[in-house]
Amino acid sequence: MKNIDLLKKTRIEVAPETFTLLSLRHDDWTRLLENRELGPRMTATFMIFRDKFETTLLFDEIDFETIRHAVRDAKIERNFRLLTFDIELDFTVVGFLAEITRILAEENISIVALSAFSRDHLLIRQDDLARALKVLGNYVEELC
């Protein structure tokens, strides 16, 4: 099935929360882990990704405010909204996210792409959200 056909079957959900993306040095992340009160709420959406360069955190504003005092040296980008493409994609699908990012790039909308096991997600700046939804609404089954 072509990606444009998959998009037509896709429902996009917009999380009501605003999110913050943080980049921490590994030592700072280890220090945060030592204090259980600074971890994310287990009922909230969050992401932790560690590679050899940094630890990246995605927290909603409530969890960010909880750790804000402890991450003064972090690189911080705020005011993102999380879009979820609510369609389970098989691992044989090629280019689904590329098609979405192409559509948004043509409108000069910057994104941060995230993938979970079975669904793709985008972080879009709050200021670009309405424009992004307008353009994506032309391609998907439903916007929520």
**Cα separation, 57 vs 22, whole angstroms:** 5
DSSP state letter for 60: E
Average pLDDT taken over every residue of the chain = 90
How much of the chain, in percent, has pLDDT values that exceed 70?
Answer: 99
Q: Tell me the domain boundaries of the chain.
A: 3-16+80-143, 19-79
β-bridge pairing 11-14 and 142-143: parallel
Give the CA angle between residues 58, 64, 66 to the nearest 5°: 140
> Is pLDDT above 90 for 125?
yes
How confident is residue 100, by pLDDT bands cut at 50, 70 and 90?
very high
Tell whether domain 3-16+80-143 is in CATH 3.30.2130.10: yes
CATH architecture of 19-79: 2-Layer Sandwich (3.30)
Integer CA distances (angstroms), 6 to 46, 98, 112, 139, in order: 26, 13, 21, 9
